[in-house]
Amino acid sequence: MGEYGLKVTIDEDSGFCFGVVYAIDMAEEILAEDGYLYCLGDIVHNDEEVERLKAKGLRIIEHDVLKTLHNEKVLIRAHGEAPETYRTALENNITLIDASCPVVLKLQNRIKVSHDARENILIFGKHGHAEVIGLQGQTNKEALVFQDIAELDNVDLPQQITLYSQTTKSMAKFYSVKDTLIAKGYEVKANDTICRQVSNRDKELPKFVTRFNKIVFVSGKKSSNGKVLFEVCRGHNPDTYFVSSTDELHPEMFSPDDTIGICGATSTPMWLMQQVKNRLESY
């Protein structure tokens, strides 16, 4: 115990969602057997966890490198992939280790069915996000992606719209987008495909963060879900700090006898939250 005597508690419900656990377990099994494994894009939006797996032999590649590989194994992470990735793999005799999250796969399928039925698809999601690229790929890149309702102001939208959402978006924002479109006179068929494991954290976190006088939210900077959950924490406890590693913690952020809650994104490993706890307790 450091001289500050900080009382630190980790949120039991924080940490990897099942999609990420599944992908990482699969990667670790193959790494233990083969000594190396290619992964298309960062396996998880957390640099510390990516570095841990790279040290075990994970090789992160992008799509341009995939096209040059032959007769190899390549992992598809939880975010899922567009159809052309599967075509490339077939052509190059690549064995795909498919760890796409079942929630994402179900959504991909629903979007494909809507597209085949010639519906006008809007996807509420982050531009360039891995999951969103996979979703848009189901529509031959014809679906319109927007991450902010203002982007639609000068767009000539059809009268009938089918609305989908990236699985890690905030439910409140999704429903406010739907209501705004309906208020503007559009006919909206809204498909709430937000992952309940993520949206339930929106509900659970407020109860957790109000028990402490300070919160340390641990997440990678690239995590969409991290941004959403950080805002939830800050909304219920203004004394919330966002950190990606223990290097970003400093004693002057805290006062003696503070009670501190640690929580994180669905892409934050438990070992990293434990490191943060150890650092705080050493002050």
CA 212 to chain centre: 26
One fold for 7-15+197-282 and 18-101: no
| Residue 20 parent element (H or E) | helix 18-34
Q: Are 159 and 186 spatial neighbours (Cβ–Cβ below 8 Å)?
A: yes
Q: 81 catalytic, yes or no?
A: no
Domain borders along the chain are 7-15+197-282, 18-101, 103-194
Return d(Cα 19, Cα 80) in angstroms, integer.
10
74: tokens are 């390549």
At the second CATH level, the architecture of 103-194 is 3-Layer(aba) Sandwich (3.40)
Letter for the amino acid at 99? A
pLDDT-derived band at 2 (thresholds 50, 70, 90) equals confident
Residue range 212-233, pLDDT digits in tens: 999 999 999 989 889 989 999 9
Return d(Cα 221, Cα 231) in angstroms, integer.
13
Return d(Cα 11, Cα 15) in angstroms, integer.
9
**Yes or no: domain 18-101 corresponds to CATH 3.40.50.11270:** yes
Residue range 237-274, pLDDT digits in tens: 999 999 999 999 999 999 999 999 999 999 999 999 99
Return d(Cα 183, Cα 9) in angstroms, integer.
44
Residues forming beta bridges with residue 26, ordered by sequence position: none
Residue range 156-182, pLDDT digits in tens: 999 999 999 999 998 899 999 999 999
Q: Which of 33, 131, 142, 231 is catalytic?
A: 131
pLDDT-derived band at 84 (thresholds 50, 70, 90) equals very high
Q: In the CATH scheme, what is the code of domain 7-15+197-282?
A: 3.40.1010.20
Return d(Cα 8, Cα 252) in angstroms, integer.
16
Return d(Cα 227, Cα 240) in angstroms, integer.
13
Q: Are 95 and 30 spatial neighbours (Cβ–Cβ below 8 Å)?
A: no
Give CA separation, 8 vs 5, 14, 193, 195, 197, in Å.
9, 15, 35, 29, 25
